[in-house]
Structure 1
Amino acid sequence: MLYKLEVENFFSIRDLQALDLTVDGKVPDPEGRYAPIFEGADVRVPKVVAIYGANASGKTTMLRALEFIVTMIRDSVMRTVPGFAGIERFNDEESADRPTRFAIELGGIVNLTPEIFQRAMNGEKVEQGTYRYELEIEMKGGVATRISSEALRQKPNGQGKWQRVYERDAEGRIKDSRTFSLSGFQHLTKTLVGNHTVLSSFAKFQHPVAQIVVDAARKAFFQIEPVHSFVDREVIDYLKNQPNVVHRLQEELSRIDVGVEGMRFQNTDNGPLLLFKHAGLAVEMPWLMESHGTRAFIKMFPFLMSALDTGGIATIDGMDTAIHPNMLPEMVRWFYAVSGRNKLDAQLWLSCHSASLLDDLNKEEIVICEKDRQGRSHCYSLMDVKVRRDENHYRKYLSGAYGGVPHLG
């Protein structure tokens, strides 16, 4: 489970923002809203992280930062031209030459090898702990030039000091460890490109531990527009090849009562056409005739199901856009243990404006973003604010007591 995100000098975030979501073991949890950061840990993390704030406060920036880290781990080796995609520094003179920094912390199997991983997959008990991944990118004249440092560290049982898994410096030199051995892969250190991560590069050439980590990163699913828009044509093509997802989608559409009784695909010269059968209507309706809300739900559905099926992370920007306020808490509840859907402790990160959802969230699940008069975003959990457990989050938030609301006048 991902429990910490750190971001510095990235879009509207100038100064280091460290979002720590760890929940004390004494906090009551009758609905199964929290999961241990690793198997057997006392410290927990919310399965749902809802980010609130005014327009342009930094909500999307936090989600983009998480997407950028995962994309660098997973796909950076695929980039064939210099530079980086999806990165901008903070827009002041000083930040033009300050590095952009990211870090995430999460739990999992430590001292990871293919043998230990296979034992865990077979149901054996193996050592667990926490990981910290750090990525620093050099900025020159406001342009991202190269990775200046990268590191993966671990804490067995989540205790003691961070132990090196590997470290990379500005010259591309790599220090390995028994867990992440360079034996048989030394030649890769000489060809490591300045905008490719160690994990992505080594996984491409079958480094066993790098492959495991990159495969885990493939369980993170992002719907963040407009940087990577999951457009209509893409969702229709995806659904056409996923009959199991379509079956489950039809069940949900029927259950939430949008009037859709069935879906089918019709082949055309321009690709598959998605048609909907509605109660009381004689002719099937095409995709573009469906309501904005129905289409928004359908486009979101594969991200949510993919995370729930793999125990991964679904990240949805503007999740409340065109979604009825009664549907939104229902979709959030899919990630709680009581729903029976989230057997693998998947996590949902979302941004939204719907204040009514706050009545359905605990303070541990709420993150606030706000921007100061210098255009700098600041993000914090409600756990960092003096908030009573029985407080009315809806009223307090709209009153401005938590911050993150627009100032009018």
Structure 2
Amino acid sequence: MANTYDLIIIGGGPAGLSAAIYGGRAKLKTLIINKGTVGGLVNTTREIVNYPGYGQISGSDLMLDFKKHAESFGVEFLRDVVVSTDFSQEDKVIKTKKVKEFTAKAVIIACGSEPRLLNIPGEKRLQGSGVAYCATCDAEFFKGEDVVVIGSGDQAIEEGMYITKFAKKVTVIVLHDKGILDCNKVSAERAFSKEKMEFIWNSTVEEVLGEESVKGVKIKNLKTGGSSELECQGVFFFVGMVPSTQYLKESGVEMDKRGYIPVNDLMETNLNGVYAVGDNRVKYLRQVVSAAGDGATAAVAAERYIEELNAFKTDIANSYKKVLLVFFNASNTESLEFSSLMEELQREHNEDYKIVKVDLATKKNLAEKYEIKAVPAVIVLDKGKKVKELGCTMDKAKLKAQIIQLL
């Protein structure tokens, strides 16, 4: 029982922490499994100026506040790596590298993303010996040296400017024509004004040079096709991110060709009780604020899903009477009138069966379970198993005859 939870969140970045806050506040027994430092890649962000209410704060400090908030609601944390999952049953199973097994009624996937590799010669071999992916983590190691930055998006330019605090010179390799960067205009203007920052346009890096450590890069001009070498002691790659979803390949969770998880407005995946939030899902904006919103949405949806599961066990599966599930929609007049008629009939035969009303707007999982496509609909259950589906009619006598026959 110690490893049994209502809600397990895989990943402790802003999306996972936000989900944990909502889960803990809803009195769900909640666990975050995170492979590294809680906060994820946000910890490497030196300055955040667009998170509402903070003005300016470091990524690590913001994530510390998120973590403290989650802990105040009793959320548990485990530093471990998820290696496999089984989402095929009502109780989801998660196994970790430390040979631990956990079960949960609902799971939120919030494992984020990681830097994309160019896989050019020398890149992997010299990782940690001059090749880096995080300026906040590694820039100070290049004090007084020449550094190359690959990429021109927000992360590349902002991290490049941070590196200038330590390096003698930062050279940015850009695919586009002179003056065109992929970052926001404010960052571009600041970068162009940096004396220690230079740009090489219409170019890409073909190879990282060096035996024991980085000695330079081989650059190819995309217009002329010519190659040249540039001496440097460090190379920072900022060429995009890839989702950290490799461990889900056999899980049954639907993913696109890049490994991102498509979800609906409730952050639901294709599997009941499994949600995806933050940078590992298909989305338009990947920022701390949007990740936090994802987490809140998923946790509320998971709470309602769990409530529905618990209600099914209490009100339906464990009932000694036959149960009539009456499916209706509050915006459908016909289904409301029909459910009222069912209640009227129940008052005449209250000792024989019980009615459980199911609003499709709030309890769609039961509708999916019994393949209800339209309302009104009535499913007869005996100890949770479907016995029959009644023909819905507003003729009281005919409806009563059906009920008496099944009893």
Instruction: Judge same fold: TM > 0.5, yes or no.
Output: no
TM-score range, shorter chain: under 0.3
| TM-score computed with the length of structure 2 as normaliser | 0.23
Which one has more relative contact order, counting CA pairs under 8 Å at least 6 apart? Answer: 1
Structure of higher CA gyration radius: 2
